[in-house]
Chains A and B, each alone.
Chain A
């Protein structure tokens, strides 16, 4: 009905909207395309992968690649290593970051500022920059080629993000709620457990998922500290396949997709809180 009243304006608006929609979809497709290509390659039989000229789509869709990949490469072992390492690192981070973040959010103590400064600086440190020092240390501790070596390094490097994001969530909870609990006889610890943590679930989820994904995706340290297929996580194990005489790209990409899809879904679920944590409170 409004179109009858102001037809010209409405029409121009629609034209603009169509071009906007199309350009946004093209943009989305551009970012999706490489991973779509990954999927198409993972679904081709070996002879189609090495056919010249290449094809866009598989002629025979080799869905069995996603079953055979478990036998053709030690995918199960890689996933197990990645999962054990990432989960352990994440649990350590949570156990250590929650009390630290809570204390920092609730108390002003001497050394609070230097502590937060230290946390902020370490958040900027990429393990890549320190890989030689890390290797020397882990070798001295005789933890090369062990899960524990990677777990400790990943936990340490991801501590900062979790402390930041958790303390900002904790300080947004009104102190009065906690005080009421204290009056009712709750200890500090049980106030944290029963009141503060349930109220900061999005923060906990963000810290948890982000740490897990960072550990799951890490490459340089894992490449340096592991050398046997039993200990290698996915990133290193799958990349090692490229060095083989005949690269079985379909299995490499099937394995990669199995590693990527759950991570993307988890990541999308915390996107809302992620930016604030990564930019350490600078973006309001």
Chain B
């Protein structure tokens, strides 16, 4: 809440907030409107609007034979990655919070995938997974896990799994730092009191720490949902969504329809459906943070 309660008119605020409003309206909300409008238009492959198309674009999208599989895959993508990210980030955050020599270095190491561009992280993973020159096959073969190199990205089911591994890898840092922020607000005496009471480490975590970091966790989950749903570079760089559409999610599918197949109208209808899903996620996020405000 503001410190001073001068009720000023809207006009008084305008010079201060107008530029920000302008940027948001012109380059965030207008593109959203433009995209939804395009989804109802007939657009030539060179990008010229030919007139209204009614629901034609949506019809074309729904009869797209690849759509059902892409939808199922997107669901697995979002739920799987968010689940594994959270489950792994919880112990990771514990380790980042504990006291031991070199903690600062460990924290810095975990920050790298968060700070580095996801495109570049994806590129190195593509190289690590390379069947002939990649280090992953080399390590596995040196450890005698198997003797012939495996092409991790040859089978779409396997390559999609590896894409998810990379997505979990780049999502853990942010998530564990959010949980860490929650952990570091827990006063030491609460933890000590629980050990004095004879609670085991696991019970102490489950009943004392976990409820206290739950708010942080929910927020991290909501933000991850949106980020993972929109994740583009990982798929684009490592498999390009291929072969065919077999490792695409709705985000990369929408992009391909538009910038490769040149069907901008159909792509806009895919993206508009995506936008509605994101708005649902945002609604969840707002609800979660509202209920937390009330609880705190």
A residues in contact (CB < 8 Å) with B: 17, 20-21, 23-25, 27-29, 31-32, 34-35, 37-38, 41, 49-54, 56, 92, 95-97, 99-100, 102-112, 115, 118-122, 124-126, 128-137, 139, 152-153, 155-157, 159-160, 163, 171, 174-175, 213, 216-217, 219-220, 223-224, 234-235, 238-239, 242, 249, 252-253, 256, 259-260, 263-264, 266-268, 271, 274-276, 278-284
Can you add 10 more A-B contacts, CB < 8 Å, to A34-B125, A259-B120, A271-B107? A107-B8, A108-B1, A115-B17, A120-B286, A133-B30, A133-B33, A159-B24, A260-B120, A271-B177, A282-B288
Complex: how many Å from CA A273 to CA B33?
A: 34
A-contact bits for B99-141, CB 8 A (1 contact / 0 none):
0111101111111111111111101111110001111001001
Contact partners of A234 in chain B: CB under 8 A: 117
A130 touches B275 (CB 8 A): yes
Task: Indicate whether A224 sits within 8 Å of B177 (C-beta atoms), given known contacts A133-B35, A136-B38, A159-B24.
Answer: no
The answer to whether the Cβ of B20 comes within 8 Å of any Cβ in the partner chain is yes
Sample 21 A-B pairs with CB under 8 A, ordered by A number. A21-B100, A25-B102, A25-B106, A29-B109, A31-B172, A100-B17, A100-B19, A102-B16, A108-B4, A115-B17, A120-B286, A130-B271, A136-B31, A136-B264, A171-B2, A175-B3, A275-B178, A278-B174, A278-B178, A282-B289, A283-B219
CA distance in complex: A238, B122 (Å): 12
CB distance from A14 to the nearest CB of B (A): 11
Which among A34, A109, A275, A276 is the interface contact of B13 at CB below 8 angstroms?
A109
Across the interface, B116 reaches (CB within 8 A) one of A56, A136, A263, namely: A263
**Which of B2, B123, B220, B296 is close to A242, meaning CB atoms less than 8 Å apart?**
B123
B189 to chain A, nearest CB (A): 18
Q: Contacting chain A: which of B64-72, B74-82, B153-161, B224-232?
A: B224-232
With A32-B109, A124-B278 in contact, do A109 and B8 touch (Cβ < 8 Å)? Answer: yes
Report B25-76 residues with CB < 8 Å from chain A CB: 26-36, 38, 47
Q: How far is the CA of A145 from the CA of B216 in the complex (A)?
A: 40
Q: Is the CB of A28 within 8 A of B106?
A: yes
**A51 vs B130: C-alpha distance in the bound complex, in angstroms?**
13
CA distance A23 to B95 in the complex (A): 8
Min C-beta distance of A248 to chain B, whole Å: 12
* Chain A interface main SS type: helix
Measured CA separation A281–B236 after assembly (Å): 33
Contact B267–A97 (Cβ < 8 Å)? no
What A residues does B124 contact at CB under 8 A? Answer: 34-35, 37-38, 41, 253, 256
Q: Which 5 A-B pairs have the closest CB atoms?
A: A133-B35, A133-B31, A156-B27, A267-B115, A103-B16
Contacts A28-B105, A130-B275, A235-B120 hold; do A108 and B289 have CB atoms under 8 A apart? no
Q: Which residue in B17, B116, B128, B293 is a CB contact (below 8 Å) of A260? A: B116
Which of B32, B181, B226 is the one whose CB lies under 8 Å from A276?
A: B181
Sorting the interface of chain B by its residue count into under 10, 10 to 19, 20 to 34 or 35 or more gives 35 or more
Contacts of B34 in A (CB 8 A): 133, 136-137
Q: Which residues of B contact A260 (CB under 8 A)?
A: 112, 115-117, 120
Q: Across the interface, which residues of B come within 8 angstroms of A160, CB to CB?
A: 24
Q: Across the interface, name the chain A residue whose C-beta is closest to B96.
A: A24
Q: If the complex has contacts A100-B20, A271-B177, A279-B219, are A132 and B268 also in contact, measured as CB distance less than 8 A?
A: yes
A109 CB contacts on chain B under 8 angstroms:
7-10, 12-13
- Which residues from chain B contact A128 at a C-beta distance below 8 Å? 230, 232, 251
- Distance in angstroms from A93 CB to nearest chain B CB is 9
Of the listed residues A119, A139, A156, the one surrounded by the most CB atoms of chain B closer than 10 A to its CB is A156
Complex CA–CA separation, A153 to B23 (angstroms): 9
Q: Are A239 and B119 in contact (CB under 8 A)?
A: yes
Residues of B within 8 A of A275 (CB): 177-178, 180-181
Q: With contacts A27-B92, A171-B3, A213-B115 known, is A156 near B23, CB below 8 A?
A: yes
Collect the chain B residues with CB atoms within 8 Å of residue A238's CB.
Answer: 119-120, 123
In this complex, which of A115, A137, A282 has the most chain B Cβ atoms within 10 angstroms of its Cβ?
A282
Q: Are B24 and A119 in contact (CB under 8 A)?
A: yes
Q: How far is the CA of A155 from the CA of B176 in the complex (A)?
A: 28
**Contact between A283 and B215, CB atoms less than 8 A apart:** yes
B257 CB to closest chain A CB (Å) equals 9
